[in-house]
Structure 1
Amino acid sequence: MTELNNLWLTETIRLREEHAGPLEDLEANRLARSAGGDLPSRIQCRALWLAERDGLSAALKHWLQGARLALIVMAVLAVVSGAGLAFAAMGDGLHPVNVFWALGSLLGLNLILLLSWIVGLVFAGEHGASLGRVWLWLSEKLARDSKAAQLAPALLLLLQRQKLNRWAIGVLVNSLWLLAMVSALVILLTLMATRRYGFVWETTILSADTFIAVTQALGALPALLGFSVPTEEMIRASGDAALNIESARQAWAAWLVGVLLVYGVVPRLLLALLCLWRWKSGQAALRLDLNLPGYAQLRERLMPTSERLGISDAAPEQLHRVESGVSEQQSDGALLVAIELDDDRPWPPPLPNNVSNAGILDSRESRHKLLEQLSRFPPARLAIACDPRRSPDRGSLALIAELARSASATRVWLLQAPPGEALDAERLGDWHAALQQLELPFADCAPMNWLETGHD
């Protein structure tokens, strides 16, 4: 994951919370605080965890795949368009080629849009955005992920702060036109190599001297690269009919190729490289704008001056698979903890010497205290005792999942009912189904051997 992608996902999370309200982020905030660092790094850590949990990281991968496909489609269209310009300029080979008509076909639209892009870049900075919007729209369609719809606006907002969008669009526009011009040049050379063309110029109101001056002026730069320019006599003679002289045909062909290369290919190549350089150098200056309300309000939660408790968050829409982020090398020891047990149940049971008791989690303060402790000292084995007489509500299951992510290995202990009381079979089945969805092992007997030795 690149730094740009991290900032992109962070901005996406900010936009999502701005429009849909705050996300459930207690665990994300805790992990960001435990990771340490300055405020921007903690904001990114929080956002990346939320993006992974809510599927935005996968949506970004799909969007990038769609963006690459969109670029391929647009590149193919550029190559085909360039080839079309060359065929239109040279004709069928049965009639002489009007050199200035051919030159206008090859370079006219390219030069008009090039000047327009430069003027827009200098005065507005947003010209060419229509092509960029086409690419963004096509990328979103090819991604085929409903969550990818939030990514494009976040990317634009992120780039606009450093005015990088103009350079990103510049790379796209100039690269596509470069492909078109190179395609036109290749087809032009192919046609000239396989067909015999004659060249003429025609006019009604302009004099021959005008065409001579224009031809020599346009050929001055290509001549510095070794391309030949028709002599004044060749130019004058070509005004009446196509010269049936090999040297004249070759001179006009070299002039046309040289003009296309110098005024069509080279400017687009240089501009594409300039935009790419500005884009690469500008990425290093990308930062989160901590003055935005969405980030400013995270300061106290991620870098608190005092611990704040009692915040209530909405329950998640669905349970998420538990994947421990703790390795065996990072963890040590064994721990037993219980969740919301009644006072009439004796606790804790006799424990081996190497198993610690974390008590009963029956308040928000006790939960936060234990989770903060586990973030610093994760256990190798964690047993979570639950009373199956209670319904497996989503708050308890979310706590079990969060505890499980803080240990290398976790087992859930579904306690037996007190003597003279039977467990409700339907409720017990709900517990089994929920724990299976979390992919956590569970049993109705005390896992003391496993806690002590790591083996049953």
Structure 2
Amino acid sequence: MEDLVTAPTPLDKRWLTEAVRLREEHAGPLEDQEANRRARQQGGDLAARIETRALWLAERDGLAEALRHWKQGARLALLAMMMLAVVSGAGLGLAALGDGQRPVNVFWALGSLLGLNLLMLIGWAGGLLFAGEQGATLGRLWLWLSERFARDAKAAHLAPALVVLLQRKRLNRWLLGALVHGLWLLAMMAAVVMLLALLATRRYGFVWETTLLAAEPFITLTHILGALPSLLGFAVPDEAMIRASGATLPALDIARQAWASWLLGEVLVYGLLPRLLLALLCLWRWRQGRNRLQLDVSLPGYAHLREALMPSSERLGVQDAAPELLPEFHAGHLDASASGAVLVGLELDDQRPWPPALPAGVSDAGLLDSRESRNKLLEQLSRFPPARLAIACDPRRSPDRGSLALLAELARNAGATRIWLLPALTGQTLDRARLSDWHEALDRLGLPYADSAPLNWLEQGHD
């Protein structure tokens, strides 16, 4: 759990992404320019970029730390519920047999051990078939306890985000089912352990009592209920033992042992075994569904991020097959009416101060970090083409086809163009292989480039 920052699980990533979406829906959009740039730099499809953006925002705003606290609280809540299940199961076993001073009515004991368990099991099965959600009460209790134990105000959106995320694939039923059956399994195991401890240390007699019924229904019911446990080696009292138990307290140890074995078999087969099988089934379905869990990028909270995270010039490089040749450019094709000088930055992060101090006569066109800003500059250049255009690029980013196509299009609207490959910031180093990729791509485009600021060239037309 503590390595969530370095190695978040796929569920953690989608969970935090949903929490960020809910937070923005309730409190408004977050300041996300740097997060968007990091997501664009990371690349991938829209879902991957949305996830990258959300994880960065969650780490910055403390939501990732809140998730770690919430998961700690969830484990504590689960531990508390498990302890309660164990104590309850042991209490059932103790209440069913008593202190040994009085004979044990076998059917009352069986009813107290399995009655509530079977009723809840039938209710769960009915909910699975008709209602669609099961274990809601225990689930709400677990979520409530998790929040109380977490004690983190920033975790307010985590529980709703988990519920919304799981409901899309209807995984709530399997997660809550595993919780419910797991707790009942613990309770039944505790009951069996208590029964074994009491039967091993005390001397119990077993009877059945009735005022209205004859012995035959009890004999038949005992044999029917004991059929499945008998396949596992548990004893079933014969007819003589059953009749004797209805008349008086049997004195034979063999009868005591037969009833004790029958009672243990009933609890194991009809109480513990179904819960074990259902817990394994729910856990298997939960893990299968969890691995297929994906973000729904059609939601309004995600759809509006498309333009910011996948600008049109970048989507060209993802959607289309790679061309055999990069776009060609030949400088000097504009007429002599071009005048002035323009400096523009292409997708630069906040760590780099911008713009630099510019000489007189050089215009700052700002930063191109969205589709709107690119279209606006292209429209302006098409109407008032500059004589000289310098484009500052961050060589830490890969020269993808979308960026190169944009550079070529900008250059076709200027008399002369030069690419400024910005130096590394203090404490950073440039990837030589990536810088070489930039040089090769710009050479193929026919665009000159420089590692130093081309301010003299912009002002005077020469270095």
Cα RMSD for the two superposed structures: 2.7
Distance in 2 between the 1:140 and 1:38 partners? Answer: 34
Q: Which residue of 2 aligns with 1:442?
A: none
Pairwise CA distance, 1:203: 1.1
In the alignment, is residue 49 of structure 1 matched against residue 56 of structure 2? Answer: yes
For the Cα contact (< 8 Å) 1:338–1:361, is it kept in 2?
no
Q: 1:25 aligns with which of 4, 14, 32?
A: 32
Q: Which residue of 1 aligns with 2:447?
A: none
Q: 1:376 aligns with which of 384, 390, 397?
A: 397
Q: Kindly tell me: are residues 371 and 52 of structure 1, through their superposed partners in 2, closer, same or farther at Cα, counting changes over 3 Å? A: farther
Q: Which residue of 2 aligns with 1:409?
A: 427
In the alignment, is residue 185 of structure 1 matched against residue 189 of structure 2? Answer: no
Pairwise CA distance, 1:372: 6.4
Within a 5 Å distance, the mapping from 1:114-129 to structure 2 comes to 114-129=121-136
Within a 5 Å distance, the mapping from 1:195-210 to structure 2 comes to 195-210=202-217
The farther-off stretch of 294-303 and 170-179 is 294-303
Distance in 2 between the 1:136 and 1:20 partners? Answer: 23
Q: 1:251 aligns with which of 230, 246, 258?
A: 258
Q: Kindly tell me: are residues 40 and 337 of structure 1, through their superposed partners in 2, closer, same or farther at Cα, counting changes over 3 Å? A: closer
Q: 2:367 aligns with which of 365, 368, 387?
A: 365
Q: Kindly tell me: are residues 192 and 373 of structure 1, through their superposed partners in 2, closer, same or farther at Cα, counting changes over 3 Å? A: same
Distance in 2 between the 1:142 and 1:116 partners? Answer: 30
Within a 5 Å distance, the mapping from 1:187-266 to structure 2 comes to 187-266=194-273
Pairwise CA distance, 1:87: 0.6
For the residue of structure 2 that corresponds to 1:376, the secondary structure is: coil
Pairwise CA distance, 1:338: 5.2
Distance in 1 between the 2:353 and 2:278 partners? Answer: 65
Q: Which residue of 2 aligns with 1:270?
A: 277
Q: Which residue of 2 aligns with 1:155?
A: 162
Distance in 2 between the 1:229 and 1:291 partners? Answer: 61
In the alignment, is residue 296 of structure 1 matched against residue 317 of structure 2? Answer: no
- Percent identity over the alignment is 64
For the Cα contact (< 8 Å) 1:337–1:361, is it kept in 2?
no
Q: Report the AA paired with residue 105 of structure 1.
A: S
Q: Kindly tell me: are residues 130 and 364 of structure 1, through their superposed partners in 2, closer, same or farther at Cα, counting changes over 3 Å? A: farther
For the residue of structure 2 that corresponds to 1:409, the secondary structure is: coil
Pairwise CA distance, 1:375: 4.7
Pairwise CA distance, 1:127: 2.5
Q: Which residue of 2 aligns with 1:59?
A: 66
For the Cα contact (< 8 Å) 2:355–2:366, is it kept in 1?
no
Distance in 1 between the 2:238 and 2:368 partners? Answer: 93
Q: Which residue of 2 aligns with 1:102?
A: 109
Pairwise CA distance, 1:201: 0.3
Q: Which residue of 2 aligns with 1:176?
A: 183
Q: 2:86 aligns with which of 79, 91, 95?
A: 79
Distance in 1 between the 2:79 and 2:117 partners? Answer: 21
Number of equivalent positions: 344
Q: Kindly tell me: are residues 168 and 367 of structure 1, through their superposed partners in 2, closer, same or farther at Cα, counting changes over 3 Å? A: closer
User: Mind listing any 5+ residue stretches in structure 1 that lack a counterpart?
Assistant: 308-335, 348-359, 378-402, 411-456
Q: 2:141 aligns with which of 134, 156, 160?
A: 134
Q: TM-score, normalised by structure 2?
A: 0.70
Q: TM-score, normalised by structure 1?
A: 0.71
Q: Which residue of 1 aligns with 2:23?
A: 16
Distance in 2 between the 1:367 and 1:275 partners? Answer: 47
Q: Deviation above 6 Å: which 4+ runs of structure 1?
A: 340-343, 360-363, 366-372
Pairwise CA distance, 1:340: 6.5
Distance in 2 between the 1:79 and 1:154 partners? Answer: 31
User: Mind listing any 5+ residue stretches in structure 2 that lack a counterpart?
Assistant: 1-7, 315-350, 375-390, 399-421, 429-463
Distance in 2 between the 1:271 and 1:61 partners? Answer: 29
For the residue of structure 1 that corresponds to 2:394, the secondary structure is: helix
